[in-house]
Amino acid sequence: MNLSMKNSAKSALLAATAGAMVFAGTGMASATHLPAVGQTPTAANQVCGVVKNAAGMGIHGATVTGTLVPPPGAPWTASTTTDAAGGWCLQGTGTMAEQVQGGATVNLVATDGASTQSITGIGVSSFLSHAYWGLGIPPKSAWNYNFVL
Per-residue pLDDT tens over the stretch 88-121: 999 998 889 999 988 999 999 999 999 999 999 9
pLDDT value at position 36? 87
What's the rounded mean pLDDT across residues 72-84? 87
Q: pLDDT category, 6, cuts 50, 70, 90?
A: very low
Which residues lie closer than 8 Å to 13 by C-beta, 6 or more apart? none
Question: 105 or 1: whose pLDDT is higher?
Answer: 105
What's the rounded mean pLDDT across residues 44-48? 95
Q: With b meaning 16 or more CB within 10 Å and e meaning fewer, what string describes 31-66?
A: eeebebebbebeebbbbbbbbbbeeebbbbebbbeb
Q: Side chain identity at 79, as an amino acid letter?
A: S
pLDDT value at position 73? 66
User: Cα–Cα distance between 70 and 58 in angstroms, integer?
Assistant: 32
pLDDT value at position 77? 94
What's the rounded mean pLDDT across residues 29-45? 78
Question: How buried is residue 71: exposed, middle or buried, by Cβ count under 10 Å (0-12/13-18/19+)?
Answer: exposed
Mean pLDDT across the chain? 80
pLDDT value at position 33? 62
Percent of the chain beyond pLDDT 70? 76
Among 50-59, 67-76, 100-109, which stretch is predicted with the lowest mean pLDDT?
A: 67-76
**CA dist list (Å): 55 to 12, 59, 95, 97, 119:** 37, 11, 36, 32, 20
